[in-house]
Structure 1
């Protein structure tokens, strides 16, 4: 009876302090790592009484009151072509060939024409009090205009340049290079040159896709639909996963909220019996090997896969490998493969001593929170930059998949396993990042409800000025101009003075000659 009374009182308190609102959440990227980061936020908002509709490529299928998911699983079809391009193309080729714009435009057309998205567009009785949307160049931003509501941009890593610009945050290609660039602090001259040229070119190409997407939106939402650039300017708040361990520490306006990593971490669950039995038996320690959700181990080249297997065979530890096939010909005896792996719970297992990963941000955060050091094999996107950051912090070794050999791979694995400095570092960093006044989830919830309470947050955004003013170019040009004018005047004055003196000296000579 007392428990029932406590429950009723809790419900009353929640109902008094939380005003239920309708929220549309959209994460259009067909990538599980992008989707998973905010799943806990959608769930918690629903539990707090808000009415949540989530448009996602990876529905959780969780049954909750006030919670509805609109699945876009079909997006993974065209996404395969996108992944092929990204896996086989460097970021510099992407910029030069404008592959990013080409692929994102194709994906946008596919998604916006899905029947379930079209139904959301044309349902005249539908309304929302807030749009929370992944802050990329996407025609789905037009839902802000469609529902005439405040908008929070969300990103599962640090935001791209144009996102920081619209919030009034300082942007600088050298201080804060794009997360796709494998650069750290103290860039060399060549790195600074590349970051300025290619970083700005990529930003320009991103915004260059807007014209085509605007045309698409006018056909879907109507001719009066504002441009995507204009809608981006309407962003009230931006949530970024700028983990200070893996992201540049940068200043930002109050309208940009750093979630600081770990929001996607879930409460521990028991492992499936077969995985538990395998890891429990690894009394000398075990290694977890996974290349994430986008890179499939079963699609690696045969040469790379053979090098990996020959190396793992020589490691005196049991290894759990997330492998997408039921079988792996030539599998070493110390290796167990699994098509599906509850990664967070695996990393929490007491016998896990090392995580071999592709370097995705969420994977690195999960290793950090579980105090597990890393060997990183980057493939694409921000993985190389993440790997360099983890290495510079002293929590990881990096191996190059393009030139991988058994000796170097084995040396990297054994170094991290046998050198306690890696484990000590990752443990220290985890304690530092978790020492915060509130959890990442509590932080995100508070600011979401802040925007709902105030019907927006434009007042928290910083001022925006042209680049020539931001870098004082007009002021410096004026000062330089004044300096040049002063120099010219001095030159003229000196010249005239000298000319006058010369004239006086000539006259003086003439007078002397006359007197003689």
Structure 2
């Protein structure tokens, strides 16, 4: 079994780790994942857990987009869902692409934000219904109880896994970067907005005053979304199935371990907590040999090398006119191109371009002939570009993609080309700049060396901490007590109020004494005069 690591030194460390690791007999794990690209991440962890003898059960929607009902890795519990996430995404993505091409404006931002909040709220309501169907189906619930699960592994972008864990009184491990209110750190660790950019802000950790104002306002939008668009979706569940007052943020803060899909080679330094384990790049492995036909195509390019392009799992193709422009530029290049594209074949397609429905992205990125990665900036693709050391020309489309690419661009390892500026000229200029400016490759390879230079591979860390929680039936000693505190206590506002009250009392008392003494002196002075 191969993991993310560089060089023989790493493998010696891993062997030593394996010898020292406390054994953990195969346990029962209940998994509540999220669909689409989030499932790709979860599946990688499930494969490793399964290989170590753990029994996995996955709760999925019956009309799941990516999560199969039958799998050699797990048994599944399929829950009927009235609508598919795919239906929501199709409309949203179409609007996003149109807005990107038109360019940014306040009204466009407002429209897209409102649409996203509404769609996200609908997702939460759908998954709240899933919770109700599980706990009210006596057959399913009895099966879950009899399985004696030892923990829940969940993706907290939807809160159903958190509620299910509380209902079943099970320890929780989060496979996380995103939560219901945005990026996970903001719910768990101190997050000063003066130097920690909010996702979607397009800012770095070096902000001027106006940028800090923007960062603050965007943070307020996330708080609004959480309080007024997400929390109400679960009101009925809390009233019917639970006692006491709590919210999603407190459930997140109760989680035992956060397997965080990031690291500080990619992200900006910031405060964190002891139960956060950084597993950025955990899905990466040393590249495997390519299929024979693909290897022949890659090798046929000679010294010029190969460019690969993909826009991720959600977008099959750019609009037709842009697709033709991109194909026209590719056709002029001495490099060969492998392009994941599912739309109509561009009329300008060159002989040097191979269009595929699917590509072994990690194995291609690890091939020495790959010179450039044209990508949309999804977290997986960015982490893989870092691991394999391939510079990026980024075309961000939506969600966190611009911010992901910005972190590479800020470190000199990528160039961003926004969709509103994309045409044949800008695309060709971007390709030529990244290909022929040595600093891009040097910087991404430096990031790759830093990322690989770890005492343990990210996947080994992930599995160790899952098994740690199972061995010790939780990890409450790593959790902050902040979630038990009301907000005014967390920020010490009650202490400040007391101090101000005491200080005010002292000042008033002192002034009163001085006034009394002054009045007394005046009375004595008048008495002497009389």
Q: Distance in 1 between matches of 2:238 and 2:342?
A: 38
Q: Does 1:199 align with 2:219?
A: yes
Match of 2:455 in 1: 437
Deviates more, 1:43-52 or 1:361-370: 43-52
C-alpha RMSD of the superposition:
4.0
Paired position in structure 2 for 1:328: 346
Q: Tell me how far apart the structure 2 counterparts of residues 245 and 218 of structure 1 sit (CA, whole Å).
A: 43
1:286 alignment partner in structure 2: 306
Change (3 A) 1:495 1:231: closer
Is the 8 Å Cα contact of residues 26 and 54 (structure 2) preserved in structure 1?
A: yes
Question: CA contact under 8 A between 1:161 and 1:203: conserved in structure 2?
Answer: no
- The 3-state SS of whatever aligns with 1:346 is helix
1:84 maps to 2:104: no
Look up the match of 1:246.
266
Aligned to 1:99: 118
Mark the CA change 1:392 to 1:231 in structure 2 (over 3 Å): closer, same or farther. closer
2: CA distance, partners of 1:272 / 1:326: 25
Q: Distance in 2 between matches of 1:175 and 1:49?
A: 43
> Considering only CA atoms, is the larger Rg found in Structure 1 or Structure 2?
1
- Could you say if the C-alpha distance between residues 74 and 507 of structure 1 is closer, same or farther in structure 2, counting changes exceeding 3 Å? closer
Q: Tell me the matched-pair count.
A: 489
Q: Deviations over 1:49-82 (max 9, x none)?
A: 2211234553479965x74355789899433423
Instruction: Please report how far the alpha carbon of residue 452 of structure 1 lies from its aligned counterpart in structure 2 after TM superposition.
Output: 0.7
| Larger displacement relative to structure 2 (14-23 or 368-377) | 14-23
Task: State the shift of 1:447 in Å.
Answer: 0.9
CA distance in structure 2 between the aligned counterparts of 1:408 and 1:504, rounded to whole angstroms: 91
The change in CA–CA distance for 1:117 and 1:174 in structure 2 (over 3 A counts) is: farther
- Deviations, residues 268-287 of structure 1 (Å, cap 9, x unaligned): 33323332222111111111
Using the TM superposition, name which of 311-320 and 18-27 deviates more.
311-320
Unaligned runs of 5+ in 2: 1-18, 97-107
- d(CA) in 1 for partners of 2:523 and 2:444? 82
Structure 2 residue matching 1:354: 3-state secondary structure: strand
Please give the TM-score of this superposition, normalised by the length of structure 2. 0.79
Does 1:446 pair with 2:464?
yes
Counterpart among 38, 43, 59 of residue 42 in structure 2: 38
Do the aligned partners of 1:92 and 1:198 also contact (CA within 8 Å) in 2? Answer: no
1:505 & 1:334 partners in 2: Cα distance? Answer: 107
User: In the alignment, is the contact (CA less than 8 A) between 2:395 and 2:417 conserved in 1?
Assistant: yes
CA distance in 2, matches of 1:160, 1:185: 20
Equivalent in 194, 209, 234 of residue 189 of structure 1: 209
- 437-446 vs 488-497, greater mean Cα deviation: 488-497
Structure 1 residue 120 displacement after superposition: 4.1
More relative contact order, 1 or 2 (CA 8 Å, 6+ apart): 2
Return closer, same or farther for 1:483/1:408 CA change in 2, 3 Å cut-off: farther
Shift of residue 481, structure 1, vs aligned partner: 6.6
CA contact (8 A) 1:245 1:389 kept: no
Cα distance between partner residues in 1 of 2:314 and 2:83: 10
Counterpart contact for 1:79–1:107, Cα < 8 Å: no
* 8 Å Cα contact 1:157-1:241 kept in structure 2: no
1: CA distance between counterparts of 2:216 and 2:51? 45
- Which structure 1 residue ranges, 5 or more long, are not aligned? 1-12, 512-516
Q: Residue 157 of structure 1 contacts residue 361 of structure 1 at CA under 8 Å; is this kept in 2?
A: no
